[in-house]
Amino acid sequence: MFEIFGIPSQALFGQLLIGLINGSFYALLSLGLAVIFGMLNIINFTHGAQYMMGAFVAYLLLQHIGANYWWALILAPIAVGLTGIVMERLFLQHLYKLDHLYGLLLTFGIALIIEGVFRNYYGSSGQPYQVPALLQGGRNLGFMFLPNYRAWVIVFSLVVCISTWFVIERTRLGSYLRAATENPALVRAFGINVPRMITLTYGFGVGLAALAGVMAAPIYNVSPLMGSDLIVVVFAVVVIGGMGSIMGAIVTGFALGVIEGLTKVFFPEASNTVIFVIMAIVLLIRPSGLFGRAA
Amino acid sequence: MRRLFAIAAVGLAALVALFAAGTAHAQYTDGVIRIGVLNDMSGLYADLGGQGSVFAARQAVEDFGAAQKGMKVEVVGADHQNKPDVGSSIARSWIDRDKVDVIVDIPNSGVALAVNEVVREKNKVFLASGPASSDLTGAKCSPNTVHWTYDTWALANGTGKAIVRSGGTTWFFLTADYAFGHALERDTSAVVEANGGKVVGKVRHPLNTNDFSSFLLQAQSSKAKIIGLANAGGDTINSIKQAAEFGIVKGGQNLAGLLVFITDVNSLGLQTAQGLIMTEAWYWDMTDDNRAFARKFSAALGGHYPTMVQAGVYASVLHYLKAVEALKSDADGKAVVDKMKELPTDDPLFGKGTIRADGRKIHDMYLFEVKKPEESKHPWDYYQLRATIPAAEAFRPLKDGGCPLVGG
């Protein structure tokens, strides 16, 4: 066994893998944000709250109608996505023509309200949610013990990320979407219902947040604060990747998970600031982000 | 005519009230005793203190019978957001502008140590129920502070000693990277080493960390028998939950939750928390008085049960009011605390006790084990008493603290 900077290589492989797993949450969340920003030009600060709602819907489904994790994986994104659609119709659609700041303030305010309501009913220390029976336990990889659930998280989120990228960048539907953001009037002239498409896109982005929430429920506590803890980091990921860039969000999400994981080994005290240091450096060198196009 | 009579009656009543107020309240600064409950109202420590502590303080005022005794007492609350700068600026504006006489609770040792200095400078009173750092009655002790409920030394002494003696001789610490975590790690290391154990490593994580898997992996590869969790609230919950996921306990290592509150156990669920050993100062299901308090508390706070911190807020406010009543004044904070130290403590929740010269409140501590799911008979029935640590042994000996207030 060899050593890297005084850390046994086996331990380091373990940390890399864990970094990738955490990165998959960053990727899923920043993907939703990137889709929403790219298509709607809205900086969706409610994203963290919607992620939290996803986890809570999973918890409530289990508590009240006994629907297990797998049902939650399907139902929670739909339910939370629907609330997103209502929110878009009621509020957001009036903001597209205004400055980004209005959307940011509105979504931030809504996030605070949602979190406040959940905190009022469920307290701040959270609710238990067990790992589904099928994915309990784990396997010894030689260099680390990998819980089955974490393996599932990484595989599933990769699949979701890549299919989302594929739909938006490589299919006809995706090309309509991209065209609609570039020039809505022209796309409408071809007989496509642009407002409805935008609404559904927001619903989809919100659904992605809720999906990440369901996946997080068995690992982290289902707590009203889980979203606000994460959202700031995820925004940093999106800024580093380049606002609105789908591939940028995915790659940066995974990469920053790994970097954060390594920081936890070499300088654990700095593990929650390292991402912001990177963000500052990227903004200095490439203000439009690593994958963003210069405005 | 009738209306005229009514007006006259109301006017007379107001005059009487004013007169009564004038005589009865003359001895208190601006006529009112203001209690400020300062804690985390929205973050990871909100359930163990938060609005529950505000309720506990109000309940203490009511049970003391302040209104009947003609004392006008007000309770206000504020959120320090776990930031020492926010906490100390609230404390300053409370004291300077809002005429607050006593600040209570303050979970989060970082904030508590900052406010400790503000209160000393302004000569008011600080009743510390929430914070853990034993420095509050050690190097940083203050003549204006009473540390009521527990401290890092007591936790280390209770849990640390019990675990080392039952064979947990090698330790790895997972420590929250701020004043509280450092103090708890230091005090526990001392207990472990004094009892023949050894500390083989540690890792310090930022407050409010979501994912502990990386740290747990480091703990796992240390091969230590015990992983000591020198953190609290949401951090402890996530560490325990993820340790179960990573098969830490199945792999032969054990967790020691050095500061676990009943709200944490509730949130983990007994399935995950069972078997955990912890030290606490108070548990609701021990005496009839405790149960009665818990019932009232639960009715007011949507079914939540009180933590030892909230019980400590109740008991410390009650004792403070007794001292102020005896002194007939709340003006001089140091004099009030001296009176609190002079009077023996006696309240429904903590029973009889004393406050030492260094500001440390002395009472029994308890070693609990979390019940198995099938042993729990009703909601919040979570703990099994393993041992009672008598008051005389539960806290750091007076001479070892290094508190300048202790003469000789």
Res B6: pLDDT: 56
Of the candidates A147, A230, A272, which has its C-beta nearest B246's C-beta? A147
Question: Mutate which of B210, B236, B264 to test chain A, going by most A C-beta atoms within 10 A?
Answer: B210
What is the percent of chain A with per-residue pLDDT over 70, rounded to a whole number?
A: 96
Task: Give the closest-approach CA distance of A205 to chain B in angstroms.
Answer: 23
Res B36: pLDDT: 97
The torsion defined by the Cα of A275, A277, A280 and A281, in degrees rounded to 10, comes to: -100
Length of chain B: 408
Beta strands in chain A, from DSSP E residues, in sequence order: 3-4, 7-8, 138-140, 145-147
Q: Which helix (H) or strand (E) holds B105?
A: strand B102-105
Q: Across the interface, do B214 and A18 touch by the CB < 8 Å criterion?
A: yes
Query: Residue B39 — very low, low, confident or very high, per pLDDT cuts 50/70/90?
Result: very high
Q: Across the interface, do B42 and A18 touch by the CB < 8 Å criterion?
A: no
Res B21: pLDDT: 46
Query: Residue B22 — very low, low, confident or very high, per pLDDT cuts 50/70/90?
Result: very low
Is residue A294 domain-resident?
A: no
Number of domain units in chain A? 1
Determine the Cα–Cα distance for residues A16 and B40; give it in Å rounded to an integer. 35
Of the candidates A219, A265, A268, which has its C-beta nearest B242's C-beta? A219
Residue appearing with tokens 């109301």: B10
Angstrom distances, CA of residue A53 to CA of A48, A78, A111, A130, B241: 9, 12, 10, 17, 20
Is residue A44 domain-resident?
A: yes
Enter the ipTM: 0.84
User: What's the average model confidence in pLDDT over B72-87?
Assistant: 95
Task: Give the closest-approach CA distance of B158 to chain A in angstroms.
Answer: 25
Tally of CA atoms within 13 A in the half-sphere of A284 that contains its CB: 6
Res A7: pLDDT: 66
Query: Residue B234 — very low, low, confident or very high, per pLDDT cuts 50/70/90?
Result: confident
- Interacting residues of A205 by C-beta distance below 8 A, sequence separation 6+: A32, A33, A35, A36, A39, A44, A47, A84
Determine the Cα–Cα distance for residues B365 and B356; give it in Å rounded to an integer. 16
Res B68: pLDDT: 94
Is residue A130 domain-resident?
A: yes
Q: Which residues of A touch B246 (CB under 8 A)?
A: 138, 145, 147
Is residue A147 domain-resident?
A: yes
Q: Which residues of A touch B237 (CB under 8 A)?
A: 125-126, 221
Tokens of A82: 């629907």
* Per-residue model confidence as pLDDT tens digits over A103-162: 999 999 999 999 999 988 888 888 889 899 999 888 888 778 889 999 999 999 999 999
DSSP summary character for residue B158: I
Q: Is A89 exposed, middle or buried (0-12, 13-18, 19+ CB in 10 A)?
A: middle
Is residue A54 domain-resident?
A: yes
Res B23: pLDDT: 44
Is residue A81 domain-resident?
A: yes
Determine the Cα–Cα distance for residues B14 and B176; give it in Å rounded to an integer. 55
Is residue A88 domain-resident?
A: yes
Residue appearing with tokens 């929670």: A76
* Per-residue model confidence as pLDDT tens digits over B174-227: 999 998 999 999 999 999 999 999 999 999 999 888 889 999 989 988 999 999
Q: Is B10 exposed, middle or buried (0-12, 13-18, 19+ CB in 10 A)?
A: exposed
Is residue A58 domain-resident?
A: yes
Tell me if residue B386 falls in helix, strand or coil: strand
* Per-residue model confidence as pLDDT tens digits over A41-72: 889 999 999 999 999 999 999 999 999 999 99
- Strand ordering across the sheet containing B351-355: B345-347, B351-355, B361-362
Q: Across the interface, do A271 and B208 touch by the CB < 8 Å criterion?
A: no
Determine the Cα–Cα distance for residues B253 and B263; give it in Å rounded to an integer. 24
What residues make up the domain containing A202?
A: 23-251
Tokens of B372: 């198995």
3-state helix, strand, coil in chain A (%, to 5): 75, 5, 20
DSSP summary character for residue A293: P
Pairing, β B345-347 against β B351-355:
antiparallel
Q: Which residues of A touch B221 (CB under 8 A)?
A: 8, 11
The answer to whether A260 touches A271, Cβ cutoff 8 Å, is yes
User: What's the average model confidence in pLDDT over A25-49?
Assistant: 91
Contact A103/B at CB under 8 A: no
Question: Rg (Cα) of chain A, in Å, rounded?
Answer: 19
Q: Which of A48-52, A240-244, B229-233 has the lowest mean pLDDT?
A: A240-244
